[in-house]
Amino acid sequence: MAQLHPHFTALASPASLAELASVSKAGIRTGAPDIEISAIAPLAEAGPGLLVWLRDADRLDDLAGRSGYVVITTETLADQLADQLADQRAGAAAVLTCENPRAGFARAAARLYPQPAPQAGVAPGAVIDPTAEIAADAEIGPNCVIGPAVQLGPRSILAAGVQLAAGTIIGADCHIGAGCLLQFCQLGDGCVLKPGSIIGGAGFGFEPTAEGALAVPHLGGVEIGPDCHIGSGCTIDRGGMEATRIGAGVKIDNQVHIAHNVQIGDHTIIAGQTGIAGSAVIGARCLIGAQAGIADHVHIADDTVLMARTGVTKSLAQAGVYGGFPAQKAKDYWKELASLRRLRLAGRKEASK
């Protein structure tokens, strides 16, 4: 059975079925509350003491012939699993049920593999301005540079080579990845930045003149709410005169660019390689697919879904699922693609006569 790589993953901290049911917000359908779970595993490698999750009926066969595992699934799939394995000796040692098995598994896995606590202190090579306010239990990695009047909150971690320019404010329990540069910004508690992201750089603001493009000063900042996740290689520009604002709980994938004065509502999720132009306003709880492009100054309603590679050139005042370029309702987009395909096929048929 394949195991998680010991150099990349800490050893699991075992937990009882009752404890995992509590943290995963799941109910115990079958199994003794004191069963011990020692690790997680892919579905096809389920075995004694291992936790797996099941959300799709077409994966039921992966559990055939396996026994002793603990599975998080839905009530409906638990019924199907029981029926399928009724005539086999194999089966689960325990079944936990909840509406969203992947979310339940994520919560349980976080309990089994907790993030290491900060190792309070300053590593060799770090340079810290004497006016910076550093929490006593913060961790500062090798070769970090911390400028004047920086505030670094309790239990926050700076990986190697992080640079915090003057006045940067980092809340509690944040983790800033290696090589990040932060300036003119403040982060709420519990934020995660992956390596190589740059927050608070000047936006791309130029005004054409007879003498050439004139740089427009950017004097605002960046405000990032609590519990945000920002992937590797992202850039979030400071505002022109007001702040660029990222709401609470926003999750941003790798290589996303957010221009000056953009406003993003709480709990919106943005997939990789998306570009958002200046002063765009994106509502709360939106889902933005990979490589989407959003023009400047447009407004996007709360709870809107943009399919991958959607190009938003005008405001979307009504929540819905959109696709294509320029963006349109997904059902219209698919109809248009189907019509084009029929025309193409008809043209081929005509040409072959």
Looking up residue 102, the CATH number of its domain turns out to be 3.40.1390.10
| Mean pLDDT, range 303-316, rounded to an integer | 97
Q: 61 or 123, which is more confident?
A: 123
142 in a domain, yes or no?
Answer: no
For residue 260, indicate whether it is catalytic. Answer: yes
Q: Do 94 and 184 fall within a single domain?
A: no
Q: What is the pLDDT of residue 6?
A: 59
Residue 323 has pLDDT above 80, yes or no: yes
Residue labelled with tokens 């096929």: 345
Residue 33 has pLDDT above 60, yes or no: yes
Query: Using CA of residue 136, residue 141, residue 142, residue 146, what is the dihedral sign?
Result: negative
324 in a domain, yes or no?
Answer: yes
DSSP β-ladder status, 299-300 and 281-282: parallel
| Mean pLDDT, range 224-248, rounded to an integer | 97
Sequential DSSP letters for 119-177: --EE-TT-EE-TT-EE-TT-EE-TT-EE-TT-EE-TT-EE-TT-EE-TT-EE-TT-EE-
Residue labelled with tokens 């740059």: 198
Report whether 160 contacts 139 (CB < 8 A): no
206 in a domain, yes or no?
Answer: yes
Domain stops at, among 112, 140, 161: 112
Residue 211 has pLDDT above 80, yes or no: yes
Split into its structural domains, the chain has a count of: 2
236 in a domain, yes or no?
Answer: yes
Q: What is the pLDDT of residue 4?
A: 61
Q: Which domain holds residue 43?
A: 15-112
Q: What is the pLDDT of residue 65?
A: 83
Peptide bond into 326 cis (omega under 30): yes
Q: Do 325 and 195 fall within a single domain?
A: yes
Q: What is the pLDDT of residue 272?
A: 96
Alpha-carbon separation of residue 268 from 124, 195, 303, 310 (angstroms) = 38, 21, 8, 16
Report whether 241 contacts 221 (CB < 8 A): no
Average pLDDT, the chain: 92
The catalytically annotated residue of 7, 260, 267, 297 is 260
Q: 6 or 182, which is more confident?
A: 182
46 in a domain, yes or no?
Answer: yes
CATH of the domain at 226: 2.160.10.10
101 in a domain, yes or no?
Answer: yes
Residue 2 has pLDDT above 60, yes or no: no
Per-residue pLDDT band for 70 (boundaries 50, 70, 90) equals: very high
Q: Do 107 and 248 fall within a single domain?
A: no
Q: What are the tokens at 52? A: 């797996």
Report whether 143 contacts 125 (CB < 8 A): yes
CB burial readout 113-137, b (16+ within 10 A) else e: beeeebeeebeeebebeeebebbee
The β-bridge partners of 246 are 224, 264
Q: What are the tokens at 132? A: 């910076």
Q: What are the tokens at 297? A: 């100054």
202 in a domain, yes or no?
Answer: yes
Report whether 301 contacts 316 (CB < 8 A): yes
Q: Do 186 and 107 fall within a single domain?
A: no
Q: Do 75 and 217 fall within a single domain?
A: no
Q: Which of 18-22, 150-154, 237-241, 345-349 has the lowest mean pLDDT?
A: 345-349
Q: Do 195 and 316 fall within a single domain?
A: yes
Q: What is the pLDDT of residue 351?
A: 73
Q: Do 187 and 105 fall within a single domain?
A: no
Q: Do 96 and 197 fall within a single domain?
A: no
Query: Using CA of residue 10, residue 152, residue 128, residue 122, what is the dihedral sign?
Result: negative
284 in a domain, yes or no?
Answer: yes
Q: Do 314 and 188 fall within a single domain?
A: yes
Amino acid at 309: R
Q: What is the pLDDT of residue 341?
A: 85
Q: Of the candidates 31, 32, 45, 33, which has an alpha carbon nearest to the alpha carbon of residue 3?
A: 45
Q: Do 198 and 95 fall within a single domain?
A: no
Q: 83 or 19, which is more confident?
A: 19
